[in-house]
Amino acid sequence: MANVAADIYVDGFVQGVGFRHFAYQKSKECGVYGFVRNLRDGRVLVFAEGDQGCMDRFLAAIRRGPPGAKVRSLHLEQKAYTGEYREFTVLFDM
């Protein structure tokens, strides 16, 4: 399968509900790498890369979100796969 990468902007009630930790856990289960961070405008940004099947599973989980979150929409921006990430990181800066 082809390797893919994307910036995923998650909109809704997604801050203060454990969304970043949820994304971290799902990245481990799905086998994707990258990072997750809160944005000042209330959205969450996830950069993820991996093979297409892993990304599909990860995106399905992100669309649901953790209990307490209300994901309104996802906006994907396809990026070039870099292969530079070897783990998934939760970033705490904005």
Pairing of strands 44-51, 33-38: antiparallel
Amino acid (1-letter code) at residue 41: D
Q: Which two tokens stand for residue 90?
A: 């939760």
Q: What angle do CA 24, 27, 29 make, to 5 degrees?
A: 115
Catalytic residue among 3, 37, 38, 72: 38
Pairing of strands 88-90, 33-38: parallel
Instruction: Output the CA torsion sign for 53, 55, 58, 64.
Output: negative
Reply yes or no on whether 38 is catalytic.
Answer: yes
Catalytic residues, by residue number, are: 20, 38
